[in-house]
Amino acid sequence: MSISNKILKLIRKSEKLSIGMQLSPAMFWIVFFLLIPLGILVIYSFWEMVGTRLIPVWDLRNYVDVFTRVGGMYIRLFVKSLAMSALVTVGSIALAYPVAYFVSLRIEKYKYTWLILLMGPYLVCWVILVLGWKMVIGYSGLLNYLGQLLGLISEPMSWMWNNWWAVVFILIMGWAPWLVLPMFVSLEKIDKSLLEAAADLGAKPMKRFLRITLPLSSPGLLVATFFVLIPTFGEFVTPALAGGSRGVMYGNAIDASFTSMMAWPFGSALSIFLMIISLIVATILIRIVGLEKLMESL
Amino acid sequence: MEKKDVVLENVTKKFGDFVAVDDISFSVKRGEFFSLLGPSGCGKTTTLRMLAGLEKPTKGKIYIGEEDVSEVAPFERPCNLFFQNVALFPHMNVSENIAFGLEMKKLPKSEIEKRVKELLDVVGLPGFEKRRTKELSGGQVQRIGIARALARRPRVLLLDEPLGPLDLKLREEMMIELKRIQKVVGTTFVYVTHDQGEAITMSDEIAAMKEGRIIQIGSTEELYNKPRTAFVAEFIGRSNLIRGRYREGKVNLNNLNKSIITGPHKVADNDYVAVCIKPERISIGEDIANLDNVFEAVIEEVYFRGAQINYKVLMEGNYKISILEHYKGKIFEQGKKLKIGWEKEDVHLSET
Ligand SMILES: Nc1ncnc2c1ncn2[C@@H]1O[C@H](COP(=O)(O)OP(=O)(O)OP(=O)(O)O)[C@@H](O)[C@H]1O
Ligand SMILES: [Mg+2]
């Protein structure tokens, strides 16, 4: 091998090294913010807690408990939370998609102003949002007040608050504005002459939507699914504030095991289980869309 | 009377205050290859889009067949448009693209498959059914676009610069191909281009457009030999233009105290005209005194093109003249002083 070749190899090696160096801030980030807390959770999930003392027993009892404790209540709660998340995802997409569609395809003037206005709810923090809805649909909220005032109901309706549908409703209302943007982006990217071509080839408006607009905006839909579904699995603020005892979600169970129950190892196992399921769902979604498409539509 | 497939009557299109198409009228006979020829921005695409129903005329009437299509939606018109940007559906493969228009017609599946196969044969791409649109070359994209537009067997096919993005060689091949396709399917073609070569090669009839107006309509030969205005003369066939004033069978030149003998023309005396002479009608040499018109000239540039030689000469009076001559083994050199000349029959007078 000639000397120049050797030098080339050396240069290549050092290049690889420098890429490693460039990556190191990212590595630091991941280690510090993710791996350390996650590692502690993983370790605790194999331990036991007696009183306030943690005992390293190193077995799977907490994971077995996830499925069996209180007659499988936790796993049932998990399934219920999954269903609620799915419902929230579908609901917030159903709410945001038409808005994004309208802004992208029907509005010509001040498109971006509209977009910014639509994202106004970004500015409101979640707790205020939930309590705001309490003012509207809560027991002594606006709807009940108006209903009584107009004589439509004789006493306040209690079915609108402190149950699981209130949780789902508020989550939908809270997420929808976040979804307008990714869906707007993927709709904007559709070349309008494709719709004209479809019309020219005999497609009526509904057919054009189903055959052209919808499939071409599907990356945006999947991005939306991704960003709503996964965080909602572990949601605990909204159910705590608006769900009452009937609206409890899996996230509240995790919360309780770290606080009132003083069962950190069990809580850790609940968390790890949730993360594994999230990871599986995320992987499936990324597989469907492709990572690049996902990043593009951000 | 012959059957007309397309008729436009005094059609105008305004975008705000801007007049993109200005009071144009023309008609296209059944089975004809009709071209709209004009420079960029003259309103060709706008005219086609009005025919396709994607743009509503501000004024005027459009008929396809005998039907007034003013109120007919694009998806119900008996014509199909090949878009300037082709606009193949990116999420569908080749056969799905071609089949789209047929599915909208609700044809049975077997019939659709059969037609897709036929169309791919017609455009010379058999076996391309499963290709993705990203995996096509430039020329193949254009062909699939044509196949998709032909699929519904439209009464009129509207083509918006289908050969625009192709290189010269491919373009020449595709011109022959398109003409062949038109013969095979027998559809009326309305073809838009800014390339006079394409229009001349394929068209039966040409409408020359400028700034939203039609300047002249006629057969290819008519426009080539008898351009109505200097614009048409320059645009089609690259005529030499010498401006002057007509008087009794002669044109007195603006720059030179001489005249060109034209013979009698249907032009009023003292009118300003442009004398058009085709490059191939001009003789060049040292001894050509027996022609009607002879002028002194100096050769400025020489382009040898094999069968032909193209001389760019500077004629007396500072007129730049282009001459095409058959190569017979002799080339004049740059800088040479000699004579150029032409007969009065080779002259055509256009409006300036
Ligand atoms: N939707 C529109 N709004 C405003 N002006 C337009 C619109 N569409 C076209 N125009 C204008 O109308 C004129 C004609 O446009 P058109 O697209 O018909 O030109 P064209 O002859 O097809 O040109 P090219 O050869 O470049 O494609 C242009 O000046 C263009 O800017
Ligand atoms: Mg155009």
Q: Tell how far the Cα of B43 is from the centroid of ligand 2, in angstroms.
A: 7
The answer to whether the beta carbons of residues B297 and B340 sit under 8 Å apart is yes
Q: Tell how far the Cα of B7 is from the centroid of ligand 1, in angstroms.
A: 21
Tell me which residues have their CB closer than 6 angstroms to ligand 1.
B 15, 18, 20, 40-46, 84, 194
Q: What is the dihedral of CA A19, A22, A23, A25, to 10 degrees?
A: 170
Enter the pTM of the model: 0.81
Q: Looking at the domain assignment, is residue A285 inside a domain? A: yes
How many interface pairs between A and B have CB atoms less than 8 angstroms apart?
A: 54
Nearest CA in chain A to B148: A201
pLDDT at A178 over 80: yes
Is the minimum CB–CB distance between B74 and chain A shorter than 8 Å?
A: yes
Q: Point out the ligand 1 atom lying closest to the alpha carbon of residue B43.
A: 18
Q: What's the pLDDT score for residue A14?
A: 62
Domain count for chain A? 1
Chain A residues within an 8 Å CB radius of B80? 200-201
Choose the residue to mutate in B24, B44, B47 for probing ligand 1, maximizing ligand atoms within 8 Å of C-beta: B44
Choose the residue to mutate in B22, B45, B160, B161 for probing ligand 1, maximizing ligand atoms within 8 Å of C-beta: B45
The Cβ of residue B287 has, within 10 Å, a number of other Cβ atoms equal to 7
Q: Point out the ligand 1 atom lying closest to the alpha carbon of residue B194.
A: 25
Q: Looking at the domain assignment, is residue A90 inside a domain? A: yes
pLDDT at A222 over 80: yes
Alpha-carbon span B351 to B42, nearest angstrom: 20
Higher pLDDT among residues B254 and A67, named by residue: A67
| Residue-range definition of the domain harbouring residue A199 | 70-296
Task: Give how far B145 is from chain A: nearest CA, Å.
Answer: 10
Chain B residues within an 8 Å CB radius of A220? none
> Taking all residues of chain B, what is their mean pLDDT, rounded to a whole number?
91
Residue B95 contacts by C-beta under 8 Å, 6 or more apart in sequence? B113, B116, B120, B128, B129, B130
Cβ of A199 and B87 within 8 Å? no
If pLDDT is split at 50, 70 and 90, which confidence band does A192 have? very high
Strands B188-193 and B33-37: what pairing? parallel
Q: What is the pLDDT of residues B122-135, one digit of tens each?
A: 888 999 999 999 99
The Cβ of residue A63 has, within 10 Å, a number of other Cβ atoms equal to 17
Chain B residues within an 8 Å CB radius of A289? none
Q: What's the pLDDT score for residue A272?
A: 94
pLDDT at A114 over 50: yes
pLDDT at A244 over 80: yes
Chain A residues within an 8 Å CB radius of B133? none
Token readout for B225 is 């030999």
Supply the DSSP string of A182-198, one letter for each residue.
Answer: HHHHHHHTS-HHHHHHH
Q: What's the pLDDT score for residue A219?
A: 83
Q: Atom 14 of ligand 1 has which residue's CA nearest to it?
A: B43
pLDDT at B207 over 80: yes
Alpha-carbon span A184 to B320, nearest angstrom: 57
Q: Looking at the domain assignment, is residue A35 inside a domain? A: no
Residue closest to B3 by CA, chosen among B156, B193, B203, B220? B156
pLDDT at B234 over 90: no
Kindly report the CATH class assigned to B4-225: alpha beta
Chain B residues within an 8 Å CB radius of A191? 85, 87
Q: Looking at the domain assignment, is residue A89 inside a domain? A: yes
The answer to whether the beta carbons of residues B204 and B189 sit under 8 Å apart is no
Q: Atom 26 of ligand 1 has which residue's CA nearest to it?
A: B40
Q: What's the pLDDT score for residue A293?
A: 65
Out of A111-125, A278-292, B296-310, the most confident range is B296-310
Query: What's the CATH number where A137 sits?
Result: 1.10.3720.10
Q: What's the pLDDT score for residue B10?
A: 94
Q: Looking at the domain assignment, is residue A129 inside a domain? A: yes
CATH tag for B238-351 (out of 2.40.50.140, 2.60.40.10, 3.40.190.10, 3.40.50.720): 2.40.50.140
Residue closest to B235 by CA, chosen among B193, B186, B183, B196? B196
Please name the member of A200, A203, A215 whose beta carbon is closest to the beta carbon of B81.
Answer: A200
Token readout for B72 is 């007919």
If pLDDT is split at 50, 70 and 90, which confidence band does A1 have? very low
Q: What phi and psi values does residue B27 have, to the nearest 5 degrees? A: -140, 150
Q: What is the pLDDT of residues B264-279, one digit of tens each?
A: 888 888 889 999 999 9
Please, is B221 exposed, middle or buried when counting C-beta atoms within 10 Å of its C-beta (0-12, 13-18, 19+)? exposed
Is the minimum CB–CB distance between B152 and chain A shorter than 8 Å?
A: yes
Q: What's the pLDDT score for residue A79?
A: 95
